[in-house]
């Protein structure tokens, strides 16, 4: 004898947590031991549902006058008798159910993604080592006293701790939402991302300074926002079951909120506080300077724009 259909109990994120075969019509669902499908949810009645074949090829489910009733998601409307399709999710008590016939056609096998390559711990460790080296270099550059090893250790330790927390949070999200930890893969994404961000920021900084191109700094910020979005996208792809589009949209929104919010906040502060002087503060070693510089007179001509700006502010 073969089962006629399956009642699938769904987890919060769309995963199937239990699957019960149906051997006869009608079948009943509830907490009682007399039921065909037994549920342990205290918000479900002893006899809650009855399932039979529907007239239109689906399954007819009927609420057996339970206290909490039955809804077909996503609508909150209580139903007493309704025909459901294999994709519909029915909620009784706190339990979500789906009914699928034996003949249900499953999706094609998913190819193992190329991203698997970076799930290997070895790659993560290599990139992490490179990032650590850049942290040490950065810390070295920012010290200006004869003996600041302690400060360097603190700076590097702080950076490493922040990175570890970031990776751990994504792994935890992955474990909760997607059922996979993927620590090494998240580590690889985070480290490669930080490395890319550092290289990008450094390149833009030196180019903007060397060629006296202030606009590059603005472009640099936009680029950093895009890189950040790309990092978040990969974390999301690893951690969730959502598709590429969904992940890309969420990543874009996260980056936009983070970078856009910071930019808005900075501008607001500058507009509110008459002591803030917003100009490029980037100063690199003279050997990176590629331009011969403009004359003092040409520089001061640019002040006309400043005058117009502050005159407009004063007349507001």
Q: State which of positions 265-284 bind other proteins (CB under 8 A).
A: 270-284
Which residue's structure tokens are 């978040």?
A: 232
Distance of alpha carbon 303 from alpha carbon 191, whole angstroms? 43
Token pair in block for residue 179:
């059922």
Please tell me whether residue 307 binds other proteins under the rule CB under 8 A.
yes
State the minimum distance, in angstroms, from the CB of residue 142 to other proteins. Answer: 6
Contact between 28 and 49 (Cβ < 8 Å): yes
Please tell me whether residue 215 binds other proteins under the rule CB under 8 A.
no
Candidate ranges 117-125, 184-192, 248-256, 289-297; the one touching other proteins (CB under 8 A): 289-297
State the minimum distance, in angstroms, from the CB of residue 222 to other proteins. Answer: 20
Token pair in block for residue 292:
């011969």
State the minimum distance, in angstroms, from the CB of residue 316 to other proteins. Answer: 9
State the minimum distance, in angstroms, from the CB of residue 227 to other proteins. Answer: 23
State the minimum distance, in angstroms, from the CB of residue 134 to other proteins. Answer: 14
Q: Which of 96, 162, 169, 92 is nearest to 131 (CA)?
A: 162
For residue 19, give the 3-state DSSP assignment: strand
Could you check whether the bond before residue 26 is cis, i.e. omega within 30 degrees of 0?
A: yes
Distance of alpha carbon 155 from alpha carbon 111, whole angstroms? 43
Please tell me whether residue 57 binds other proteins under the rule CB under 8 A.
no
* 52 strand-pairing partners: 60
Candidate ranges 18-26, 86-94, 160-168, 305-313; the one touching other proteins (CB under 8 A): 305-313
State the minimum distance, in angstroms, from the CB of residue 213 to other proteins. Answer: 10
What is the biggest distance separating any 2 CA atoms in the chain, rounded to whole angstroms? 96
Q: Indicate which single residue of 158, 264, 265, 313 sits in contact with other proteins (rule: CB under 8 A).
A: 313
Please tell me whether residue 309 binds other proteins under the rule CB under 8 A.
yes
Q: State which of positions 132-161 bind other proteins (CB under 8 A).
A: 140-147
Token pair in block for residue 67:
């206290």
Candidate ranges 76-84, 122-130, 166-174, 290-298; the one touching other proteins (CB under 8 A): 290-298
Strand order from edge to edge, sheet including 27-30: 37-38, 27-30, 49-53, 59-63, 81-84
Based on CB atoms, which residue is closest to other proteins, 111 or 286?
286
State the minimum distance, in angstroms, from the CB of residue 156 to other proteins. Answer: 16
Number of residues that bind other proteins (CB under 8 A): 48
Contact letters (x/-) for other proteins, 85-124, by CB under 8 A?
Answer: ----------------------------------------
214: DSSP letter: T
Based on CB atoms, which residue is closest to other proteins, 68 or 201?
201
Q: Is 105 exposed, middle or buried (0-12, 13-18, 19+ CB in 10 A)?
A: exposed
Based on CB atoms, which residue is closest to other proteins, 122 or 283?
283
State the minimum distance, in angstroms, from the CB of residue 138 to other proteins. Answer: 10
How many CB atoms are closer than 10 A to CB 266?
A: 12
For residue 230, give the 3-state DSSP assignment: helix
24: DSSP letter: S
Where does this chain bind other proteins (CB under 8 A)? Answer: 140-147, 212, 214, 270-287, 289, 291-297, 299-300, 302-303, 305-307, 309-311, 313-314
């Amino acid at each position: 004898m073969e089962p006629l259909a399956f009642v699938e109990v769904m987890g919060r994120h769309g995963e199937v947590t239990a699957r019960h075969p149906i051997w006869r019509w009608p079948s009943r669902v509830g907490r009682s031991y007399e039921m065909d499908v037994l549920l342990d949810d205290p918000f479900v009645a002893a006899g809650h549902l009855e399932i039979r074949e529907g007239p239109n090829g689906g399954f007819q489910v009927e609420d057996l006058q339970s206290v909490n009733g039955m809804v077909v998601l996503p609508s909150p409307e209580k139903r007493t008798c309704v025909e459901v399709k294999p994709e519909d999710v029915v909620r009784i008590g706190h339990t979500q159910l789906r009914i699928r016939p034996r003949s249900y056609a499953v999706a094609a096998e998913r190819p193992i993604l190329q991203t698997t390559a970076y799930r290997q711990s070895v790659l993560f460790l290599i990139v992490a080592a490179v990032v650590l080296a850049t942290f040490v270099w950065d810390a070295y550059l920012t010290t200006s006293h004869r003996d600041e090893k302690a400060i360097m250790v603190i700076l590097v330790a702080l950076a490493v701790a922040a990175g570890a927390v970031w990776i751990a949070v994504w792994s935890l999200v992955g474990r909760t939402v997607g059922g996979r930890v993927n620590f090494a893969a998240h580590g690889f994404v985070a480290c490669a991302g930080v490395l890319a961000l550092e290289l990008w920021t450094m390149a833009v900084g030196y180019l903007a300074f060397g060629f006296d191109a202030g606009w590059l700094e603005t472009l640099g910020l936009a680029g950093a926002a895009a890189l950040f979005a790309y990092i978040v996208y990969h974390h999301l792809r690893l951690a969730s079951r959502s598709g590429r589009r969904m992940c890309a949209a969420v990543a874009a929104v996260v980056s936009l909120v983070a970078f856009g919010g910071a930019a808005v906040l900075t501008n607001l502060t500058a507009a509110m506080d008459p002591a803030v002087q917003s100009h490029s503060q980037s100063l690199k070693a003279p050997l990176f300077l590629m331009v011969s510089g403009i004359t003092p007179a040409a520089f001061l001509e640019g002040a006309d724009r400043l005058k117009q700006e502050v005159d407009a502010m004063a007349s507001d």
